[in-house]
Structure 1
């Protein structure tokens, strides 16, 4: 009785598979198949059972794939190969259907498992189109931003002789911010072009303490009502990053202020080294983030109620840190607030130096 129950369970599982399974005997005749057989052609399973492999291939496989498919079947049947895998095209009711075909030998039978790739191919096509659209948008935005910033710098040169001593610091802050924006457009260009070409995420050794110090100074100027503190010393190390690391740290510091519910927020930064990584913690004493939202806030377009941001800041943080080979997570602060914890791999030169110490 038990064997019968187990057999029915296996049969149900066999039919519930999303892949199509074909089993051929040594005469190359289809002797069994699961319920997915016929999904592409629209024919019932009974019409397939008992047919030889060559007949099924002739009827349902694109002509250009016949030779490759037959060769793979032969290698498995003769046990010249333990497994075979290839992409082929089936002739479906509504046109060609791309599939992934895998062959194995099992208990004297040749088993072919076929997975429909229609949805996957459609997603890949959409991603390709989206990549091209983003590349165009990136080029347009960078062009417009650079042009506008060039105009601002031009006017700044005209204005500089007329700036009185009391306004000198503010004026220089404006010029620094504009020049930094121009530099970021160049870095974004390199980043996007590398990604759209299918290259690895571009990184280079980046001095963490310098970038963090610059961003703290920038945010202290931007948010005069906020107390930014550094807990302990910031190690003078280089991490895997690039020019966009400044955007990562700027977004974390700004985010701690923008989503605060008090007139005088406190933001505390702490950096420590752990094995081959630098861990940067940015803690605030704001309202905190519920557990149910801790993973969602990094999604594209996520933002809090009444947030003045564009909704891409934390998505950018997550994407860049992941590209650097690091991680970002959110923890609860005590007695209230949130802590954003970013782990950044040390640059290769830094690791080599530590290993030799």
Structure 2
């Protein structure tokens, strides 16, 4: 346990496996309290020889002399733990009770009431010591849980407030009682103007009564409603939104509704008015094209013709293979197929070699589904020439490598000097030197994971073909070799070729390593399963460990909690998240019964893989 969060095995009454720290000046009393603690299954004994500054405990049992000796340290520990309670039980001989009744005594004013949470007189019966300790530990657990819930709610509030989607919450009568900043930005209505009103203030008149009737009937029945809607801003202008409204259900009944809107006006206008913009498109310096689902060009602008070195007539009816190298054309074909299968936009970078022109360029492409008469007809691509930007990125990458190299060199010096100090020092100075070594190792690990993440984020060439069947088996063997007490096995196809970022090996290694080193079982078991699900290749990692913290789950599944990320393992999980994200994949984390975690990742199958 620690000063901030209760352990999972703490019961509701707060007395399960509570760590008690005895600090008594009298040898006899100290021995009796230690024996009493050791005789209870619900308590664990914190070594009383540990420094008060670093000891981890749930309740400290001390007497007046030790209170005065460690008062400042205990006050600091209690302040640091707030708003969670870190209780202290003060035992004072009955003859000394007058000390805490004075208005001017040092113990009363500056020690007891700031440091001790309860004061009892000695001699004390074991039964009384039992219930007083239980009460303090129970209060600690309750305060910890309240702190955790408060922090979770605050994090959720920050996420909603920072969201780029318009979000509002209404009661079951439809009265709005919350809107986020994005709602204000998208609709033009301030929070004061919206709260207390109904969503009808956004009614543009474009949707008929049946639309709203279906909406209301759906959400009041406890179901989620998802449709596109045309709304009206406060200035009278209209916008098209992709809107989801979900009921917040309690005891089987909706108690509130939460709505999330994404402004898709630009996309809808692009789909509906594309033919009106052809003249403008022709004048743009960035290549723009529309292709059928089979990959044949339906529309190309002059910029594309210039890069391709071919006329419009030569390009129409053909595809990328006509004018660029086969490897790049295959990459583009794969991205087009992904748009067609998911009907979702994709973004990627390519650096083609042109067969009929000597032009060179690096393109950052946004590719969208293209519709005709409401039916998917192909894809629309806008290619931005980012050659100069890529050159600057490469220069910054070099600078990053130089800085990281220098920092690692200095950290290695610090680490080495710290180890030297450990060998020659004793006591607290040796412990301090140990801290220097540990922190240097942590920074070196963090630097390496940061480098891997930087590589992922700066990769402009998109996913490549990777046989994760072979990769996983090699990594599983290495993991088993590194941790002989761990059982690591792999099931599924020997060959499974997927489309993934180049950092996939490091990401899988991170998952396997975490499944072992964070496993508190005597014999860690890690099961890796590979499978094919439709157009996806799946990788699941199951363990029999204690489960995954909510923070780490949030990082893996959504890349959340950026502002709280400060440790090496968190960076490793971010590497996994960004690898999956850049691979066009998805990830899910499940708790297993009776214990353990299962992390499942879906990667797009490589064409022909």
Q: TM-score, normalised by structure 2?
A: 0.27
Between the two structures, name the one with larger relative contact order (CA 8 Å, sep ≥ 6). Answer: 1
Structure number with greater Rg is 2
TM-score, normalised with respect to structure 1: 0.44
